[in-house]
Amino acid sequence: MYNLPTNTKKWQFDIFLKKIFKKKTDAPFAQLLINVHPLPLFHVKSPIFLFYSASVRQGIVDSVKRALGDQKVKSVVICGQNGVFCGGADIREFGRQMSGPPLVPMIHDIEAANKPVVAAIEGSALGGGLELALGCHYRISHSKAKLGLPEVTLGLLPAAGGTQRLPRLIGVPAALNLITTGRHVTAAEALQLGILDHVTEHNTVDVAVKFALSVTGESLDGRRISSFSCAPLSDLDSLFEEAMLKVRGAARGAIAPVACVQAVRAAATLPYAQGMEREKELMATLFHSGQARALQYFFFAQRAVGRWSTPSGARWDTSQPRPVRKAAVIGLGTMGRGITVALAQAGLSVVAVETHAKQLMEAKKAVPSMLKRGAVRGGTTIEPDSITYSETVQAVADVDLVIEAVFEDMALKEKVFQQLSIVCKPDTLLCTNTSSLDVDHLASQTRHPELVVGMHFFAPAHVMKLLEVVYGRRSSPAAVATAMQLGKKMGKVSVAVGNCRGFAGNRMLKRYLEQAFFLLEEGATPELVDRALEEFGFPMGVFRMSDLSGLDVGWRVRKADGLADTSLTGTSARVRQGCRYSPLGDLLCEHGRFGQKTGRGWYQYDKPGGRVAKSDPWLHNFLDEYRARHGLVPRCIDQQEVLERCLFVLINEGFQILEEGIAAGPEDIDAIYVFGYGWPRHRGGPMFYADMVGLERVVERLERYHQAHPNVPYLQPSGLLRRLVANGSPPIHKWRNVIKNRNSQL
């Protein structure tokens, strides 16, 4: 029996030796089962799994050394504990001084062993976990395991030989796909790709031990992946050019996918040792990059939003969600259909209500085909009768939860909530899919305001990952917890936010859009503004995005708010409620230019519904005339000003939202912006970006722009932003302390 490595606690590293006797000969025969797990997670509901920490790596190195040096040991099986092989490197270690044995020589020594080493994979083999398995001579996996090299999603590349061994094992095209996307594959796909040697439904370790016995003494020459050559390909150059174009198009400005392509190219063109050198060099450029920091921050931020809290003290860990088996959707327009699909995909039974016969008929056709497409994409099946359709609200009498998705009109929504309050069971949760209306007001229309919350979906609702769960003043903790849990069940990232106009996302977006309009007044063009934002990493600039979502949407809201009055002339045309206002969007709508759907907006399209935006001379003339009419002298505006004006004002509103407690922490805002508004993930989200840029700089630029535009009050740095700077600009993970101190003084 081997002893645990000194200085390793039992819960950190477990290793045991199993003596197995060959049945026929009865000769002593031993395998080493190295448990490469577990770091317990301090999360009651999570399973235990391991990420390589220094002590784990040390443990593996020592154990493998002893196993290989022990004549009694004939083969080695490496497995995890508690059903998980290995989730890869401990990401938290990256920010600190790294210690302990490095992974590359550790895996190299395993591969060089003269005894068969078998990886027994259960749960996950990700990142460095899969790289370890690739260093083994055989890989046996449970059918439910997931495998992958997700380093690219953390701004890195698989630098423990992953970029060199995987292409040698499964070929360049398949390896490029896995390494540049970071996607996880099922055991079945991994077997088909050739990553695995065998997949089992039974006890993986038992199967691996049996297998390890069966190959004892066999030659390992053909089993060391580093000695393989990549399968030859006829046109390597165009393959890599195509791969480069693809990754550049998928995440503009992201450096890790580009480095991944370069590393795989090295595998395809260089001997293994030189390829490893190239892998190391490329990793060194990524490792300390801002993008790696941003992506690793975002990895934890995504998880942090699940630990929600509200200013009234409701929390994720003390609030019990209610079971939801049957749900209803009221209103089957675009949003309602998407929500119906998302609920059905989550396995709920759904009552879909639409009072307009024509719309109902169309929905009855559209929803099943959306479900079918989703099932094909996700390889799932859907119970066709999980959705029932009705023309009357009475059909929702027995559901556990209703999501209202009627037209964005307060009077109409009020009526629906009054009806629902009468028709539904007294404990039914009533949710509204509004994008900006007052949730408290809607709650006041019902008998149980504590059971009312907002569920703000993003279009298309069955595809977009973000869900803002909006708690009102009287929403009960159970109501919030139920909506959050339902969001998770639908595969969404649910973020709890307070009730205010536009909630967190749209409230910030309003400021961003306004600045973009002001920039046009001052001399910019839609092309210039969009180019700056797209080069920053947004998939679409603000004007292309408006054309896609429809200019009439914002126009309707501005009209309802009494803002869109184009009959005003002179200076009052560009001022509303004492603040600068740009009527440009309203004027375009008056010309019938609603964006892609009308074939004209900020750009022109070849036909209504066309997708390809082309510069429009009409629009440029229109802007010239508009400026001349208002005595505006166009000036040269550079990309930096576009970014600062549009992004810093959005960030400033984010600080205001934090100050007011509408969002509990910066991670919430960042998750909303990355998942709902196309903020480039490799920039971590707007609040993380502010931290990277430096809070002093954000304040300084905002102040300067405010001086230049004194009638734009929200260019003034928010109180929280100023306080953070006064507190020495602490790093983002400490902002909550400053916010908490302030709230506790209120």
DSSP for 496-532 reads EEE-STTTTHHHHHHHHHHHHHHHHHHT--HHHHHHH
Beta strand 575-576 with 579-580 is antiparallel
Instruction: Give 667's contacts (C-beta < 8 A, 6+ positions apart).
Output: 300, 301, 302, 304, 305, 685, 687
Near ligand L6W4SP4V by CB under 6 A: residue from 250, 284, 412, 459: 284
Task: Find the catalytic residue in 93, 111, 122, 151.
Answer: 151
Binding to ligand L6W4SP4V by residue 317, rule CB under 6 A? no
Alpha-carbon span 279 to 264, nearest angstrom: 9
Alpha-carbon span 143 to 148, nearest angstrom: 15
Residues binding ligand L6W4SP4V: what is the number (CB under 6 A)?
Answer: 30
Question: Comparing C-alpha atoms, which of 692, 659, 658, 687 is closest to residue 671?
Answer: 687
Q: Quick one: 168 or 576, whose CB is closer to ligand L6W4SP4V?
A: 168
Walk across the sheet containing 349-353 and list its strands.
387-390, 349-353, 326-330, 401-404, 429-432, 452-457, 466-471, 493-498
Residue 286 beta carbon to ligand L6W4SP4V: minimum distance, rounded to whole angstroms:
8
Binding to ligand L6W4SP4V by residue 414, rule CB under 6 A? no
Q: Quick one: 160 or 702, whose CB is closer to ligand L6W4SP4V?
A: 160
The SS3 call for residue 286 is helix
277 an active-site residue? Answer: no
| Cα separation values, 222 from 265, 276, 658, Å | 23, 20, 59
Q: Which residue is nearest to ligand L6W4SP4V (CB)?
A: 127
Alpha-carbon span 117 to 137, nearest angstrom: 5
Residue 46 beta carbon to ligand L6W4SP4V: minimum distance, rounded to whole angstroms:
5
Binding to ligand L6W4SP4V by residue 653, rule CB under 6 A? no
Q: CB of 303 within 8 A of CB of 667? A: no
Near ligand L6W4SP4V by CB under 6 A: residue from 48, 73, 90, 660: 90
The SS3 call for residue 121 is strand
Binding to ligand L6W4SP4V by residue 51, rule CB under 6 A? yes
131 an active-site residue? Answer: yes
Residue 299 beta carbon to ligand L6W4SP4V: minimum distance, rounded to whole angstroms:
7
The SS3 call for residue 688 is helix
Cβ–Cβ contacts within 10 Å for residue 501, how many?
12
Question: Comparing C-alpha atoms, which of 76, 170, 72 is closest to residue 118?
Answer: 76
Alpha-carbon span 649 to 525, nearest angstrom: 19
Residue 146 beta carbon to ligand L6W4SP4V: minimum distance, rounded to whole angstroms:
7
| Torsion 301-302-305-307 (CA) sign | negative
Q: Which of residues 92-151 bind ligand L6W4SP4V (CB under 6 A)?
A: 92, 103, 124, 126-128, 131, 150-151
Stretch that binds ligand L6W4SP4V, among 46-54, 331-339, 497-505, 642-650 (CB under 6 A): 46-54
Residue 490 beta carbon to ligand L6W4SP4V: minimum distance, rounded to whole angstroms:
16
Task: Find the catalytic residue in 111, 131, 404, 653.
Answer: 131
Residue 141 beta carbon to ligand L6W4SP4V: minimum distance, rounded to whole angstroms:
15
Stretch that binds ligand L6W4SP4V, among 159-167, 471-479, 566-574, 611-619 (CB under 6 A): 159-167
Q: Which of residues 176-235 bind ligand L6W4SP4V (CB under 6 A)?
A: none
Q: Quick one: 41 or 412, whose CB is closer to ligand L6W4SP4V?
A: 41
As given in the structure block, the two tokens for residue 159 are: 């630098």
Near ligand L6W4SP4V by CB under 6 A: residue from 80, 87, 321, 498: 87
| Cα separation values, 382 from 336, 339, 373, Å | 18, 15, 11
Residue 104 beta carbon to ligand L6W4SP4V: minimum distance, rounded to whole angstroms:
7
Binding to ligand L6W4SP4V by residue 83, rule CB under 6 A? no
Q: Quick one: 74 or 293, whose CB is closer to ligand L6W4SP4V?
A: 293
Question: Comparing C-alpha atoms, which of 115, 125, 214, 207 is closest to residue 162?
Answer: 125
Alpha-carbon span 154 to 71, nearest angstrom: 41
Residue 129 beta carbon to ligand L6W4SP4V: minimum distance, rounded to whole angstroms:
7
Stretch that binds ligand L6W4SP4V, among 281-289, 376-384, 409-417, 433-441 (CB under 6 A): 281-289
C-alpha angle with apex 79: 74 to 83, nearest 5 degrees? 150
Binding to ligand L6W4SP4V by residue 515, rule CB under 6 A? no
| Cα separation values, 83 from 35, 45, 184, 204, 256, Å | 10, 15, 17, 9, 31
Binding to ligand L6W4SP4V by residue 527, rule CB under 6 A? no
Residues within the interface to ligand L6W4SP4V (CB under 6 A): 41, 43, 46, 49, 51, 87-92, 103, 124, 126-128, 131, 150-151, 154, 156, 158-160, 162, 283-284, 287, 300, 303
The catalytic site residues sit at 131, 151
